[in-house]
Structures are given as C-alpha cells and as structure tokens.
Chains A and B, each alone.
Chain A
Amino acid sequence: AQTVTQSQPEMSVQEAETVTLSCTYDTSESNYYLFWYKQPPSRQMILVIRQEAYKQQNATENRFSVNFQKAAKSFSLKISDSQLGDTAMYFCAFMKRIQGAQKLVFGQGTRLTINP
C-alpha cells in the first residue's frame, strides 16, 4: 500500500522568506503522480502544484516549485517570497489510477504560518 509522510506538523516563517515543506512517499509503482494541495482556514482544498513521476524536470508554478527525487521517493515543496495568504495547511498527495478513477493518498499535512 502507498503511504505518504509529512514529517513537519507545523512550520512558521516571516513574510517574504522562502520555506520548504518535506514529503516522502512509499510505492512500488513506477508510473504515478504527486500533488501538493493547500487548505486555508476557509477549508477549501486548492491544488498548488502537480508532478508526473516519469518527468525528471521539477514542476514550477509561479512562487511554488518542487524538488522531486524519484529514487529517494521525496517530493518537497518550496514557496519563495512567502505571503500572508500562503498561511494554510499543506497536504502532499500520491495518486494512482484505478480503472477510471484516481485514488489520492494524502500525508498528514503541515500547518504553515506566514508571519507579518
């Protein structure tokens, strides 16, 4: 079974700083996808970034980038120039296809606070 581990329950940084959230996963599959979702206090789950395992190039979305190390099964999220609006729970997720559906397995989450 796939597992996803986020070893940092909470993190706190100052506005404009760079912060990296860690995620490791365990799987025997070779083709899969990885995601970072953000959940602000509003409770809405928002996709931050995604990575296909067969792509060596790290995904980037504006201030958000990942460091994907397939051999090490590591998928960390870097937030540059952090903003107050980045304050949220961040979930790393592993996805595998099951017939016509996609099963997401989530990590425990990291609560990130951006301080003014």
Chain B
Amino acid sequence: DTAVSQTPKYLVTQMGNDKSIKCEQNLGHDTMYWYKQDSKKFLKIMFSYNNKELIINETVPNRFSPKSPDKAHLNLHINSLELGDSAVYFCASSRTGTLGTQYFGPGTRLLVL
C-alpha cells in the first residue's frame, strides 16, 4: 500500500564511498523528485524527472547522478561521498497537470563519517 517508498531508510558510510538510494512510487505519477533536507531542516529540491526526462537540475555537485529507469522509479547515486552530504534525502512524485501536490517518501537518512 506504500505510495512512495525509499530504500534504505538509514545509510551510514565512510567518506569517499559510493552509495545509491532507490525510490519507487505506485501512484501512477509521471514526475519524480529528489530533495535534500540539511541538519537545520531546510528542504531544497535537487532534481526532477518527467517521463524519464530530466526537467529540473538545481546546482548540485556532479557527484550526484539521478537515474530513472522508468516512470515509477528514480534512483540517486552519489560518488565520493563527503561529510557535507550527510542529510535526509526525500523522494517525491506528482502527476502532470494536477494541482501540483507532491507526495513524499519516508526519507533516507545518510550519515557520512
């Protein structure tokens, strides 16, 4: 029944490692997003895909690479992890043409040591 799911929910890793976070939605939406919430709770959009096409790409380091294999999935791969990447990462989805309501996943807490 989960609408937007993310795996893993927690991720602890060492600096310099590469890690991926997966996101899946079963709402039939055609647009998906990645947001980053920092330690001060500030939420900022990173990427958005519409029908597997990159639409929004904010000022994010090249170490972050989103991949959308199909409309229901949007994964986030992070290379060479840095301490400043520690945050909560949220996936969200929405349907084109609606009132813009985005439905969020439960978040993935990433801690880089």
Contact = CB atoms under 8 A, between A and B. Distances in A.
Interface of A: 33, 35, 37, 39, 42-47, 50, 52, 89, 91, 95, 97-106, 108-109
B55 A100 contact: yes
Contacts of B55: 98-101
Secondary structure type dominating chain B contacts: strand
A99 B45 contact: no
B100 A102 contact: yes
Nearest to A99: B55
Interface centre among A42, A44, A50, A103 (most CB of B within 10 A): A103
Interface residues of B, number: 31
29 contacts: A35-B100, A37-B104, A42-B106, A43-B106, A44-B107, A45-B92, A45-B107, A47-B101, A50-B100, A52-B99, A89-B41, A98-B55, A100-B31, A100-B96, A101-B49, A101-B50, A102-B102, A103-B45, A103-B48, A103-B56, A104-B33, A104-B35, A104-B43, A104-B45, A104-B102, A106-B44, A108-B40, A108-B42, A109-B43
Contacts of A46: 104
Contacts of A95: 100
Interface in B43-92: 43-45, 48-51, 53, 55-56, 88, 90, 92
Nearest to A42: B106
A108 B43 CA distance: 8
Nearest to A37: B104
Contact of B106 (A44, A99, A101, A105): A44
